[in-house]
Structure 1
Amino acid sequence: MARGVLSFPLTSFHDDGSLDLDGFRTHLGAQLAAGPGAVFPACGTGEFFSLDEDEYRRVVTAAVELTAGQVPVVAGTGYGWAQAARFARIAEDAGADALLVLPHYLVAAPQDGLVGQLERLAERTRLPLIAYQRGQVAYSVESLRRIVRIPGVVGLKDGHSDLDRLQRLTLAAPEGFLFFNGAATAEIQARAYAAVGVPAYSSAVHAFAPEIAGAYHTALRDGDGNGNGKTVEKLLREFYVPFVELRDRVPGYGVSLVKAAARLRGRPVGPVRAPLTDPSATDLADLASLLSTGLDLVGAVL
């Protein structure tokens, strides 16, 4: 999975909010054509929190069918462990390769409870689990030492960007345990994560501009050779940082802007579902201008 950008496809909806499975297939096909390292359907960017179990089943099944073994399919799951296990069984039946365990719902919990959540879910699925620490979930080094001993738990995705603590976690983990950069707009911190041994990252930008995400990933991987060090700096300064500033204007824009940008490129992804809201006209105009700039930087077209 570290060989390419990790794709988190959007879930397509019709204007009335119903699931648009044909739109999802079209969107995912474009994602696969860009050569991601793995596909993560029905996760945060895919609005897992807005899907019922039948919709989840249809989305994950479509992802497995369309991917056809080209790359791993890692489906999202979450809420409390009992509900997470229900989604896990659906993902198993659909043929997913693994699960990304999203932060549980609402309550803060002690370390024993965070570990117990994974233990109980692991007992109820055959699929490998990648824990996601973000929001109210943050594992201590001692908890990580317990987590790596849970059969089936194979990795950790980090969304806190506390690099001191993350370095301690990577040093405490056994060889072969997977770590992923799951920071919001992960490219901003990709170099810093790589410096502590976490080069693999998810990319929301890949969902609407795989040309930009791919160019950044290649430049970062190749370093200063052939001027690629300058490419990283230029993309960060002229595209990624302005995108983050736009994203931070309104809560939920981490998904809403991504969907809006995909629509600007003609992708049939539809609107977001409440409680998210689509961007305002002003923000949409700024997004269109920024997207054009980003594509110009990598020689692509809107």
Structure 2
Amino acid sequence: MKRNAPTGILGFPVTPFDSQGNIDELALSQNIQYLLDSGLEAIFVACGAGEFHSLENREYESIIEVATATVKGKVPVYTGVGGNLSDAIYKAKISEKHGVDGYLIMPAYLINGEQEGIYQYVHSIATSTNLNAIVYQRDNVVMTLDTIERLVEIPQIVGFKDGHGSMEHIIEFTQSIGNKIGWLNGMPMAEVTMPAYIPLGFDSYSSAISNYIPHISRKFYDALLEGDQTTVNEIYQDVILPINRIRRQGKGYAISLIKAGMEIVGLPINSKNVRPPVTPVKHEHYEQLEEILKKALIKYPSNLTKSL
């Protein structure tokens, strides 16, 4: 087991559902293959974008089976684990059973625990298997430096994903811990904040738009690394900021807007098929996204885009 977190642009596939609400395994495989063909460096299934909150155990396992069969070891495969502790450990063991590379430890359900409780929660999950584990800081799981320093001593913990966004704390964490673990940007629409994270040692991010315009996310990231500010600014204005403005218009759009974008570019998914409490994108927002993508794909064409 290589003890390192994936770097680069990380793919977080959604979970496609059919009209009866069941997982569409063929569509899932096709969408994962699209991410592989686009050159993404890792695949994270059954996480937040994959509607982790709504999956029962058999569905969760079937998603892992589809992912590992599709990826075939080309890139690392990670899963999402979390919720109540016993269920998180169960899912961790299912992940290990199917030979994935690791898992992202999602926040515990609802509870705002003390730092010792957060440590014990993450420690229990991370040490339940030999897989790599990435800690996810967001919502009700916000850590202190002392907690993170204790966690990085656990061999299985290879990465820290930040979805909280406190630059003061992140600077303290990265300066104190350095390269003992990998640093992942997990902020909403991570392209928006990635310029601020790169100088702090973050060398990967989870990209929502990579589900439907991965070549633009790649062009943006390459421009960032190369110091090409002109291209960065153009993609900000043409694509990233306009989509982010739509994303902020609806709760649950972190999921349903991805499905809408995928449907617009011709990928095999019905954007209306989401599970409550997530709701589909409103018609006017769908049309706004469609117009943004039409213009973007004229200016930034892709050989993989199937329609529009």
Place the TM-score, normalised by the shorter chain, in its bin.
over 0.9
Structure 2 distance, partners of 1:139, 1:293, is 41
In structure 1, give the amino acid aligned to 2:213.
A
Q: Which residue of the partner structure matches residue 275 of structure 1? A: 277
What is the CA-CA distance between 1:3 and the residue it aligns to? 5.2
Distance (Å, rounded) in 1 between the aligned partners of 2:163 and 2:130:
25
Q: CA deviation at 1:183?
A: 0.4
Is the counterpart of residue 207 in structure 1 residue 211 in structure 2? yes
8 Å CA contact retained: 1:61, 1:95: no
What letter corresponds to residue 279 of structure 1 in structure 2? V
In structure 1, the residue matched to 2:43 is 39
Structure-2 separation of matches of 1:3 and 1:143: 24
What's 1:147 paired with?
151
**In structure 2, what is the Cα distance between the partners aligned to 1:74 and 1:3?**
13
1:30 aligned to 5, 24, 34, which one?
34
Identity %: 33
- What TM-score does the superposition give when structure 2 sets the normalisation length? 0.93
Structure 2: distance between partners of 1:196 and 1:175: 11
**1:110 Cα deviation after fit:** 0.7
2:196 equivalent in structure 1: 192
Q: Does structure 2 conserve the Cα–Cα contact (< 8 Å) formed by 1:10 and 1:269?
A: no
Q: Distance in 2 between matches of 1:165 and 1:50?
A: 32
Q: 1:7 touches 1:207 (CA, 8 Å); kept in 2?
A: yes
Segment of structure 1 superposing worse, 19-28 or 286-295 = 286-295
Q: Deviations over 1:187-241 (max 9, x none)?
A: 00101001211131110000111121121122122222xxxx2111011122111
Unpaired runs of at least 5, structure 2: none
2:16 corresponds in structure 1 to 12
Q: Which residue of 1 aligns with 2:75?
A: 71
Structure 2 match to 1:286: 288
Q: Distance in 1 between matches of 2:127 and 2:222?
A: 39
Question: In 1, Cα distance between the equivalents of 2:147 and 2:181?
Answer: 14
1:59 to 60, 63, 70: 63
Report if aligned partners of 1:160, 1:183 keep a CA contact under 8 Å in 2: yes
| 8 Å Cα contact 2:16-2:269 kept in structure 1 | yes
The C-alpha deviation readout for 1:254-277, integer Å capped at 9, x for no partner, is 111000110111212332111101
Name stretches of at least 5 consecutive residues in structure 1 with no aligned partner. Answer: none
Moved more, 262-271 or 63-72: 262-271
Q: Is residue 25–residue 63 contact of structure 1 (8 Å, CA) maintained in 2? A: yes
Confirm or deny: 8 A CA contact 2:68 2:77 kept in the other structure: yes
Find the aligned partners of 2:148 and 2:6 in 1 and give their Cα distance.
21
TM-score (norm 1): 0.95
Correspondence for 1:181? 185
In the TM superposition, residue 151 of structure 1 has moved relative to its aligned partner by 2.9
The count of aligned residue pairs is 298
